[in-house]
Every structure is written in structure tokens, then in C-alpha cells.
């Protein structure tokens, strides 16, 4: 049974924290609620994490679409899963369907099966399926989940696509510089003789070239050590918190990242609110879906304000993390009593804004990387040409 670290508020309003074993995140909330303890933030203890087994957005979207279609056609839940485990889209979906089918045969509900399925399914999906089973609209909820995961997959692909070009350009730049420094430039450097009278930039370039040729293994060792150190630091709560905060406050791209996070929040919160999930529990799920520790901390503040009786719009505005348009739309929905419809409109609006933000990110990254590459090449050219022109002037 996995172990969870949690922060919560007891019936006296006192903040507490601790560690407890539970079958799932939903089971954890239910377990502590029976003790009059209300969770504000929870995560798996690092040693017990099994996130690698979780289905990705593409698999979840396909599973929900197949499940919804067959339920809508009149098949029973058990027959649907039986078909999916035999003829599912891929091996991961067939494995997940088999696990769910076996649990249903033991008399478990679909919600319980999802909760106990070794972290294959995210808490967001478990909450919505639970609401769908209670309301008798499971096929509609699964269709809604298909649309949600499909949009998440497209958003993820947009971000990955935005980063592909810069990463390729960085790799090409490093490869070109190494080639120049180890094969081409040493032939020019041999013409210069002693380095004492050379410009500082040329001496610097020669020293880098010599170190790459004779001590290349040190660069590899430093790179590996640096990667391990950074990876270890990013596993610590403090560094992850600072990095996630930097992502939404960084120059140029901070506002774009906030738009993307706002889009994910709007879509997730709209889905949860429409199915009747309590607002505070919805905020807890949203904090996990965003996968940003800085936002997770802000959602703790949101829930405290909500428990004190503040409206949703005020609590969101107090975080300072969301687009003002989002806060305004939530406020209008609260005042008009049509928050359900407003949230749906907000999710559609910010989906479009998120796509525009990703496109803008690509547009900004391309010229920045080209300029950086040009500056590196220019520095190399100046460092090589200055001594050559100096030698030419001495001859004349």
C-alpha cells in the first residue's frame, strides 16, 4: 500500500501534516475526512512513487473514447471491459482494461477499480467517474474525459513541438563549435606562433581548443556530474518550488506559461464543477493536474479563503497566478448564477489562448536561438581574424 505525505486542517482550524498509508489519493481524502481532517495538499512519499506506470494522455483519451462508445451503444460495463482487454488499442490499454475487468468481477465499482489500479489513472479521472456512476451518466462523463485528455495531449504536443526546434539548434550549435575547435581552428592557431602577443579573445579560444583536444574526458565528466547534481536538486521540494515559480515569472515566457496553466485549470475546473464535485475538492484535484508546486502552494491559500467563506473569484485573484480575464469570467458567473456555463466558455477561450501562447513561444524562441548562434560564430571569427589581420599589417 503506498504512503502519502499530506497537509491538512483539523476541525479546530489548526494546520497539521503527516504521513499515512492509503490505497489511493481518493481513499486518503475519505480516510482523513472520517477523522474530521480536511486535506489541503497531498503527494506520494518519494520512495513509494509509481508514476512511471501511469497511462499517458493519448492512452487515456483512447481508452475513454472506446469505453464511452460501447457504453453508449448499450453494452454493460463488464462486457465493454471484456472486449477492450481482448481487442484494446494497444498493450497498455489492454493491460489496464484487464485489471479493471478483474476487479469488476470481484464486485468492485468502477471508481474503486480505478482507485486501486496501481496509479494507472489520475485522480481527476477517478473523481469524474465517481460522479458519473452516482448520476447514472457514466457514458457522458467518459466522453467528457476523452475530450479533456485529447486536449491535454494536443497541448502537450504543442509545448513539445515548441521546444524541438530550440533543442535541435542547441545541439547543432554545440556540435559545430566542437568541430571547429578541435579540427578546423587548430590549423589556424599553428600559424600564430607564440600566444603572448595575441588578443585576449584569441588566447581564450586557443585555451578552450587545447582543453577540448587533450582533456575532452573532463568535459564529459563535468557534464555528467552537473546533470546528476541538477537532477538531484530538482527532486528536493525547495528547488522544485523555486523552479516552478521561475517558470511563470521569467522574462518573455512567464506570461505565456501562465496562460497555458490558466487554460489547464479552466478546463479541469469546468469539468469537475459540471459533474457536481465540491469546489474545495475540485481545487485539490486541479493543483495535481497543473503539476506545478508553486501553483499547488497557491491552491492551499485558495482553499483556506474558500473555507472562510470568500467567493471563488476573490480566492483565485488573491493568488496572482491566473489571467485577469479568467478571474473576471468566474466573477461574472458567480454574480449571474451561471458559473457552469461561464466556466465552459472560459475553458474554450483559454484553450485558444493556450494554442496562441504556444505559437508565440515558438515565434520568440527561433530568432533568439539564431541570434545566440550568430554571436557565438561571430566571436570565433573575430578571434581568428584579428591575429591574421595583425600579421598581414606587420608584413605590409
Within a 10 A sphere around the Cβ of 392, how many other Cβ atoms? 9
Cα(248)–Cα(255) distance, integer angstroms? 6
Q: Are 325 and 345 in contact (CB under 8 A)?
A: no
Angle, CA of 280, 286 and 287, to the nearest 5°: 95
For the stretch 261-278, pLDDT in tens is: 888 888 888 888 887 788
DSSP 45: -
SS3 311: coil
pLDDT of residue 222: 92
Contacts of 16 (CB under 8 A, 6+ apart): 7, 8, 9, 10, 37
Q: How confident is the model at residue 226 (pLDDT cuts 50, 70, 90)?
A: very high
389: pLDDT strictly greater than 80: no
Question: 198 versus 85: which is more confidently predicted?
Answer: 85
SS3 331: helix
Q: Are 192 and 387 in contact (CB under 8 A)?
A: yes
Per-residue pLDDT, averaged over 206-223, amounts to 87
Find, among 320, 300, 318, 321, the residue nearest to 310 by Cα: 318
Per-residue pLDDT, averaged over 321-341, amounts to 85
Per-residue pLDDT, averaged over 316-327, amounts to 85
Find, among 117, 57, 115, the residue nearest to 85 by Cα: 117
Question: 361 versus 58: which is more confidently predicted?
Answer: 58
Per-residue pLDDT, averaged over 39-47, amounts to 64
Contacts of 148 (CB under 8 A, 6+ apart): 124, 267, 268, 271
Task: Write the Ramachandran bin of 328: left for phi over 0, alpha for psi from -120 to 50, otherwise beta.
Answer: alpha
pLDDT > 70 fraction of the chain, expressed in percent and rounded: 90
Helix 324-336 vs helix 339-395: angle between axes, to the nearest 10 degrees?
180
pLDDT of residue 47: 38
pTM reported for the whole predicted model? 0.68
351: pLDDT strictly greater than 60: yes
95: pLDDT strictly greater than 90: no
For the stretch 165-195, pLDDT in tens is: 777 878 888 888 888 888 877 777 776 666 6
Cα(182)–Cα(188) distance, integer angstroms? 11
Amino acid at each position: 500500500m503506498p504512503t502519502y505525505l499530506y497537509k491538512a486542517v483539523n476541525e479546530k482550524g489548526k494546520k497539521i501534516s503527516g504521513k499515512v498509508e492509503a490505497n489511493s489519493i481518493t481513499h486518503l481524502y475519505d480516510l482523513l475526512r472520517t477523522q474530521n481532517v480536511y486535506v489541503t495538499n497531498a503527494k506520494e512519499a518519494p520512495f513509494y512513487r509509481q508514476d512511471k506506470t501511469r497511462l499517458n494522455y493519448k492512452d487515456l483519451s483512447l481508452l475513454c473514447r472506446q469505453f464511452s462508445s460501447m457504453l453508449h451503444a448499450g453494452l454493460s460495463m463488464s462486457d465493454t471491459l471484456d472486449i477492450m482487454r481482448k481487442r484494446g488499442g494497444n498493450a497498455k490499454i489492454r493491460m489496464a482494461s484487464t485489471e479493471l475487468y478483474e476487479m469488476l468481477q470481484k464486485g468492485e465499482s468502477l471508481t474503486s477499480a480505478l482507485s486501486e489500479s496501481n496509479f494507472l489513472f489520475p485522480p481527476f479521472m477517478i473523481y469524474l467517474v465517481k460522479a458519473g456512476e452516482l448520476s447514472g451518466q457514466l457514458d457522458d462523463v467518459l466522453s467528457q474525459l476523452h475530450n479533456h485528455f485529447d486536449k491535454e495531449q494536443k497541448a502537450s504536443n504543442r509545448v513539445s513541438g515548441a521546444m524541438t526546434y530550440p533543442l535541435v539548434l542547441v545541439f547543432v550549435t554545440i556540435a559545430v563549435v566542437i568541430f571547429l575547435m578541435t579540427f578546423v581552428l587548430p590549423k589556424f592557431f599553428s600559424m600564430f606562433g607564440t600566444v603572448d602577443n595575441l588578443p585576449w579573445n584569441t588566447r581564450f579560444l586557443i585555451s578552450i581548443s587545447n582543453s577540448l583536444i587533450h582533456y575532452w574526458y573532463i568535459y564529459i565528466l563535468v557534464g555528467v556530474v552537473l546533470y546528476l547534481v541538477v537532477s538531484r536538486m530538482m527532486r528536493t521540494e525547495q528547488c522544485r518550488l523555486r523552479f516552478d515559480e521561475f517558470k511563470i515569472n521569467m522574462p518573455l515566457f512567464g506570461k505565456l506559461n501562465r496562460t497555458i496553466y490558466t487554460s489547464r485549470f479552466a478546463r479541469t475546473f469546468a469539468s469537475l464543477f459540471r459533474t457536481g464535485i465540491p469546489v474545495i475538492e475540485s481545487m485539490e484535484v486541479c493543483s495535481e493536474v497543473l503539476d506545478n508546486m508553486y501553483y499547488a502552494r497557491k491552491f492551499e491559500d485558495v482553499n483556506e479563503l474558500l473555507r472562510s467563506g470568500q467567493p471563488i473569484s476573490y480566492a483565485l485573484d488573491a493568488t496572482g497566478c491566473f489571467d485577469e480575464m479568467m478571474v473576471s469570467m468566474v466573477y461574472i458567473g458567480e454574480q449571474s448564477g451561471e458559473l457552469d456555463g461561464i466556466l465552459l466558455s472560459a475553458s474554450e477561450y483559454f484553450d485558444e489562448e493556450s494554442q496562441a501562447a504556444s505559437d508565440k513561444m515558438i515565434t520568440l524562441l527561433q530568432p533568439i536561438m539564431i541570434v545566440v548562434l550568430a554571436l557565438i560564430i561571430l566571436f570565433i571569427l573575430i578571434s581568428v581574424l584579428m591575429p591574421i589581420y595583425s600579421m598581414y599589417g606587420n608584413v605590409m
